[in-house]
Amino acid sequence: MKDKIYSVFECKSKDRLFRIEEDFPDVGWYLKVFDNNMNCIADHLQNDFDTIIDFGLEEYEIQKNEWIKKL
């Protein structure tokens, strides 16, 4: 059975698509990085939303207000 995704946030920056996906309640939050061909080139996991947002800022310089809720 495929995992249910509860929330999705996206941001386009530096020729890449960044996507945060909630995998609740089992895992936490994923930050996935896609190249121009939509290949996933990085995948990061954190326990909660605030931590994954902070990670996106530290690792990829994405400000909190740049994330757009998609789902």
Tell me, yes or no, whether 49 lies in a domain. Answer: no
Residue 21's pLDDT is 95
pTM: 0.87
**Digit-coded pLDDT (tens) for 5-38:** 689 999 999 899 999 999 876 789 999 999 999 9
DSSP label at 39? -
41 CB-near residues (< 8 Å, 6+ apart): 16, 33, 34, 35
* Overall number of domains in the chain: 1
Tell me, yes or no, whether 61 lies in a domain. Answer: no
Tell me, yes or no, whether 51 lies in a domain. Answer: no
Tell me, yes or no, whether 58 lies in a domain. Answer: no
Strands of the sheet with 40-46, listed across from one edge = 40-46, 28-34, 16-23, 8-13, 68-69
Residue 55's pLDDT is 98
The answer, yes or no, to whether residue 42 has pLDDT greater than 50, is: yes
Tell me, yes or no, whether 65 lies in a domain. Answer: no
Tell me, yes or no, whether 25 lies in a domain. Answer: yes
Beta bridge partners of 58: none
Tell me, yes or no, whether 1 lies in a domain. Answer: yes
Q: In which domain, by residue range, is 15 found? A: 1-36
Tell me, yes or no, whether 29 lies in a domain. Answer: yes
